[in-house]
Amino acid sequence: MAVDLITLSKFGGPDVCVGAYVLDTQRAVVITMLARQTVLATGGAGKVYLYTSNPDVATGDGIAMAYRAGAEIANMEFYQFHPTVLYHPQAKSFLISEALRGEGGVLRLDDGTAFMKKHHPMADLAPRDVVARAIDFEMKRTGEDCVWLDMTHHTADFLRQRFPNIYAECIRWGIDMTERPIPVVPAAHFCCGGVDTDASGERPSRASWRSERPPARGSTAPTAWRATRCSRAWCSARGGALHAEAGTGPWPEVPDWDIGKAAPSDEAVVITQNWDEVRRLMWNYVGIVRTNRRLERAQRRIALLQEEIREYYWKHLVTQDMLELRNIATVAELIVASALCRKESRGLHYTLDHQETEPTLARDSVVKRGVGAHLR
């Protein structure tokens, strides 16, 4: 697992990426990997939220590493939430397709009340973001842990044939969708922000992390590329192929990872506690519907958690769990900072304090280490 990108600026050189420090999880040692080309293809960041459709590895590692290396991160406030993920204490990340609502599925409260008609004229066929906000509103209003997607008006044969995978997964967890509604909850689905790049996926669209700058005396510059999900570019594979043969100069001198006085941890509970706290506060304060007060509370608490995480990080040998916790805390910080700087509701960012979309604010939110967040 990657620990951090290696930039020569850390050692008094130019601001270019030349590889990464990587944790060998089997041997529990950090190794130095130098590279002419470095591709960030680390996936999304859904695990920053309590409920997500993403796999466990989606901890925003590429975004967090790029931010620590000095890259600009853009539009992190825009996070798409899928309205219906299976709610079960042991089931993870299983999407209940929106096709069920397309086939007449009805969202209901615990007492059986259908609620979507009061939120949108299209009721259960409303757009995804509207449905997610409606479910979030009803869960917060009633205090219920989930809502229910009712398909029982269809015959059992129809449901088994039309939705065989969903039927089988529900049965696996003791839920027969032919006889009772399916418990569902909205979940973080798609991170629409990320590392700011140009169309080739190489460098930021404005100079902030100049990967084309030569490392020394005219030798070819190692380059950092960002691939889909952790970046805002969709062409990084093509761009990387165009430069695959680049880089024949001497390798830079980079020191190996220094563990200093770090020791094995005897307090792993710190990781599990902080992991749960980050994800829960992000869900409650920085979720589908936001307010300035909730965002400010989240910002204060994330800052306190990051102090604990930094202290733990420097005192103990790194582990995969430690690195993932560090990264989701960084991603949480970026989402909150981006959301606070956008004083409007736009697309997937919806705030009760600024419910209108302001044409003059149709700009990117940008966060850079040491600079803060602003609209550009």
Give catalytic residues, as residue numbers: 128
Locate 247 and state its tokens.
């880089």
**H runs (alpha helix) in 143-268:** 156-162, 164-172, 236-242
Q: Give long-range contacts, CB 8 A cutoff, 24+ apart: 170-178.
A: 170/86, 173/86, 173/88, 173/90, 173/91, 175/88, 177/151, 177/152, 178/151, 178/152, 178/154
CA separation, residue 261 to residues 216, 264, 306, 309, 314 (Å): 33, 10, 21, 17, 9
**Are residues 49 and 287 in contact, defined by beta-carbon separation less than 8 angstroms?**
yes
- Calpha distance 30→250 (Å, rounded): 23
CA separation, residue 154 to residues 74, 96, 353 (Å): 45, 16, 42
Q: What is the dihedral of CA 61, 62, 65, 70, to 10 degrees?
A: -150
Q: From start to end of the chain, where are the E strands? A: 2-7, 17-24, 29-34, 37-40, 73-74, 79-86, 106-108, 147-150, 182-191, 194-195, 223-226, 365-368, 372-375
- Calpha distance 373→77 (Å, rounded): 11
Element (H, E) at 109: none
Angle among Cα 106, 111, 116 to the nearest 5 degrees reads 35
DSSP designation for 211: T
